[in-house]
Chains A and B, each alone.
Chain A
């Protein structure tokens, strides 16, 4: 078991075929990886935040990215979305560059990245997810409104549609952002710490939606920091510390040994559940 995972470590990830062999998802056999990263390096002020990173994510998985502070989790998804320049490497979505698949990529930024006192309503924020499709100059209409309301219903926020966004709780803000990503109807989603400082109800609501997305064949990539819940929430995991320490199915990858290697051996208390049981 350990040697197999270490092998993953060396090759920087697992293939779709390997995933299907373990989980029985036969549709993954022939698909291109939904995300394929090769030799990615991102540097801030001469210091690499991501160093020579390889990662392949098969389609249809719900993947958590975990790692210590400063491991480059947010940097990784920002580089994937072309939000920050990369020093080297290539990133392909479904075998194509980001520019050609933008409409198929959804993004939920960190909640703290915007000013929630901005004068706008919940429905308006969700509708922003459709601006790209509506196009320049043209206005959003009844059709967009209906799609946005549907997304709000999915996240349980229907009655808040006309609220000014500063009146929302943290969990409601997060669900608003999630709804904005849902209306994009993307094939691959990137979410930056969607569970950060939200209440238990919101956390359950969000994880329910993530599972729904996966069951519809979407790939969902989530920056996550709570090691306790990794095994419950995700079926795929990437252990990150500047480069990929290990990536693969949670069962075989989220092991004490590899977690300690990722975090520098200081997380004895955070042993995954299945290992505790052994």
Chain B
């Protein structure tokens, strides 16, 4: 009984604190003298949505031990952005579809190489990731040499540039985010079961291929939507950082996903605000800095799983039991 209420209470406190921090991001920035112009409001909203979505969906990538897959996905998306721009121009929807398609092609190619050759999966990921990325850089360079490229803003896809986000983008991102959350809620049981014990799920008649593909689809969508903000190079941090941090604070999947969403939103909005103070400051690194700080704090200080508490406990044990030996 005490154990039940204690773990629940801890989760509630953690979620409340995280939620409060999120609510304080904008007021604190305003107090510090940041002027929330129309542009900045748009950019902040974009960062908040993208951070929340990639954080919560990314939790599943973390639990499925597919962090490196997230990295491969984001790097492999770059040529898709370039190709889509050449075909459709700077339409966010088209760019995202192109990014997703080419990125999935990269993942398919990784699995093909793993199956057909003697190369192991991590090696295949490394080679495909860099190969696709290099092609992407090539295409982007080609685009930038064209006369109409000056306002394309495509280079923002490499390190992320929140300032490139406009109001229509935010609307699109909001709609897609809502759809993703609905999919997540509807398939919650199945996602949990397939992630925890795919073999048991399969034996129970679940078509795990369908749910695995659905989860991969959500991860891909989160990745390509976040590209504009975090960039292909750092996107994986936005995807997995919040999940890693959240796992430290709670032992329940639903709380972990919720908390990862909140952490992602804090990092996304803070990064967007800070980088907007100076147009030369790319957003991706700012977001990842906030994210990494939260991850570091969580790994060190989270009760029960943190390094500091582990060390203290070990010292206590040594004192207690070593002392007993001498006496």
Q: Interface 1/0s, chain A 95-111, versus B by CB < 8 A?
A: 00001001001010100
Contact B251 A121 (CB under 8 A): yes
Among B128-136, B150-158, B189-197, the one that faces the other chain is B189-197
Q: Report B186-220 residues with CB < 8 Å from chain A CB.
A: 186-190, 192-193, 195-197, 199-200, 202-206
Does B97 belong to the interface (CB within 8 Å)? no
Residues in B whose Cβ lies below 8 Å from that of A81: 202-203
Closest to A162 in B: B4
Does B63 belong to the interface (CB within 8 Å)? yes
Q: Report A205-239 residues with CB < 8 Å from chain B CB.
A: none
CB distance from B310 to the nearest CB of A (A): 14
Interchain CB contact (< 8 A) of A102 among B196, B204, B251 = B204
Does A26 belong to the interface (CB within 8 Å)? no
Distance between Cα atoms of A96 and B183 in the complex (Å): 35
Contact B252 A120 (CB under 8 A): yes
Distance between Cα atoms of A128 and B256 in the complex (Å): 19
Contact A119 B189 (CB under 8 A): no
Using known A-B contacts A120-B253, A139-B189, determine if residue A132 contacts B206 with beta carbons closer than 8 Å: yes
Distance between Cα atoms of A5 and B215 in the complex (Å): 51
Does A90 belong to the interface (CB within 8 Å)? no
Q: Report B14-69 residues with CB < 8 Å from chain A CB.
A: 63, 65
Using known A-B contacts A119-B251, A119-B252, determine if residue A128 contacts B200 with beta carbons closer than 8 Å: yes
Contact A162 B7 (CB under 8 A): yes
Contact B4 A120 (CB under 8 A): no
Q: Interface 1/0s, chain A 116-151, versus B by CB < 8 A?
A: 001111000100100110101101100000000000
Contact B7 A114 (CB under 8 A): no
Does A83 belong to the interface (CB within 8 Å)? yes
Is chain B's interface secondary structure helix, strand, loop, or mixed overall? helix
Contact B204 A131 (CB under 8 A): yes
Using known A-B contacts A120-B192, A131-B190, A162-B3, determine if residue A113 contacts B197 with beta carbons closer than 8 Å: yes
CB distance from A16 to the nearest CB of B (A): 25
Does B250 belong to the interface (CB within 8 Å)? yes
Does B247 belong to the interface (CB within 8 Å)? yes
Residues in B whose Cβ lies below 8 Å from that of A118: 63, 195-196, 253
Q: Report B253-283 residues with CB < 8 Å from chain A CB.
A: 253, 255-256
Contact B200 A107 (CB under 8 A): yes
Distance between Cα atoms of A82 and B208 in the complex (Å): 12
Contact A82 B197 (CB under 8 A): no
Does A164 belong to the interface (CB within 8 Å)? yes
Contact A119 B200 (CB under 8 A): no
Distance between Cα atoms of A102 and B253 in the complex (Å): 27
Closest to A102 in B: B205
Closest to A99 in B: B205
Distance between Cα atoms of A115 and B247 in the complex (Å): 14
Q: Interface 1/0s, chain B 160-203, versus A by CB < 8 A?
A: 00000000000000000000000000111110110111011011
Contact A137 B253 (CB under 8 A): no
Q: Which of B188, B193, B199, B252 has the most CB of A within 10 A?
A: B199
Interchain CB contact (< 8 A) of B203 among A105, A115, A120, A134 = A105
Closest to B4 in A: A162
Residues in A whose Cβ lies below 8 Å from that of B199: 83, 109, 113
Distance between Cα atoms of A238 and B247 in the complex (Å): 44
Residues in B whose Cβ lies below 8 Å from that of A132: 204-206
Residues in B whose Cβ lies below 8 Å from that of A166: 251
Q: Report B57-102 residues with CB < 8 Å from chain A CB.
A: 63, 65
Closest to A163 in B: B3
Provide 8 A-B residue pairs closer than 8 Å at the C-beta atoms, listed in order of the A residue.
A109-B203, A114-B196, A115-B196, A118-B195, A119-B255, A131-B189, A137-B187, A162-B3
**Which residues of A pack against B, CB within 8 Å?**
81-83, 99, 102, 105, 107, 109, 113-115, 118-121, 125, 128, 131-132, 134, 136-137, 139-140, 162-164, 166, 180, 184
Extra contacts besides A121-B252, A125-B196, A140-B189 (5): CB < 8 Å: A82-B202, A109-B203, A113-B199, A115-B63, A120-B192
Which 6 residue pairs of A and B lie closest in terms of their CB atoms, listed nearest first?
A: A164-B251, A102-B205, A107-B203, A81-B203, A132-B204, A162-B4
